[in-house]
Structure 1
Amino acid sequence: MSAHESPKITAIHTAMTSTSSTSGPELLDERSLGGIFVHLLGLLTGFLGPAVVYVVSDHEYTRTNARHALNWHITVFVLSIVAMVTFFLGADELTVGGEPVELSLLPAPLDTVFGIVGMILVVIMMIALLLTFVYTIVATLKAIFGSIWPYPGSVDFVGWFH
């Protein structure tokens, strides 16, 4: 350790270099770039990018990372659809052109229940969307260091169809 390096930087460097004993092309046999970048691709394309990578890749590391990213993005997509449908079913008026318009798709007690549940689901959806950024960073960093990280809270949709 040189005089200007902190112990924390040295520990990070040691952890990075001790993760795998291989380097260069051998390292790509163990963990591929696709397995690393699939998480960032999911951030840009939702579930479509990881789905394509999962289908076309024959590298186990890439497929497993793509599966985890795909499961998370499908989970968030389904949550978003359910939250929006529930929220709008509970809406009793809409503003169109600055004017309130009565809109009641459900009878009086149900529209209130759907409205409250819809609002709760929309808040959960917003949290899930924020977690998408955090999970993408964590999963990408884990993949860089050779770990496969399942996204917490995701439903294994791919496992249901596999």
Structure 2
Amino acid sequence: MSSNTQTPNHGPELLADRSIAGIAVHPLALFTGIIGAGFVYVVSTNEFTRANARNALNWHLSILVLSVVAVVTFLLGADELTVAGEAMELSVLPTPLETVAGLVGTVLLLAAGFAWLLTGLFTAIATVKAIFGTPWEYPLARDIVTADT
């Protein structure tokens, strides 16, 4: 019988290479959007935290921009607007362009709604990845805030 004198492996220390803020920034951004993620990104000096905050910030900025573009495009396609119960004629574009803008705006609104639904799933994935030490980049997010050089 040989005795094994190796020390038992206690697993990785959770905060050796990562921080609580780097993990918590994803759920924070879920509830506060760009404000929470942006604040963590600006005040943090830990590279792991900054990378996670940047990824969350890029996702939330991307869906914010998509939502604003969708609403503006949809409104450009509207030919009537109801204000205080009265229908008002709202013709900013010629009729053919108005129809196209309305259709494109509708598709963009659906895409923005789907992106907002994906936010919960992506937050869960990013949080779990951060717990295990990987800053996860959200799929389809534009690189609006880039890494410092």
Give 5+ residue unaligned stretches, structure 2.
1-8
TM-score (normalizing by structure 1): 0.80
Distance 1:154 1:29 in 2: 28
Report the RMSD for the aligned CA atoms in angstroms: 1.9
Q: Which residue identity is paired with 1:126?
A: G
Partner of 2:5: none
Q: Which residue identity is paired with 1:103?
A: L
Structure 2 residue 53 is matched with structure 1 residue 66:
yes
Q: How many residues align?
A: 141
Secondary structure of the residue that 1:152 maps to in structure 2? coil
RCO comparison, higher one (Cα < 8 Å, 6+) = 2
Percent of pairs with identical residues: 55
Cα deviation per residue 1:121-149 (whole Å; 9 max; x = unaligned)?
00000001001111111111111222221
Partner of 2:76: 89
Kept in 1, the 8 Å contact 2:51–2:147? The answer is: no
Distance 2:147 2:102 in 1: 31
Partner of 2:119: 132
Partner of 1:111: 98
Cα deviation per residue 1:4-39 (whole Å; 9 max; x = unaligned)?
xxxxxxxxxxxxxx9x9333xxx3131110011000
TM-score (normalizing by structure 2): 0.87
Cα deviation per residue 1:34-76 (whole Å; 9 max; x = unaligned)?
0110001111111111111111111111111001000000000
Which structure has more helix as a fraction of its residues? Answer: 1
Distance 2:128 2:36 in 1: 19
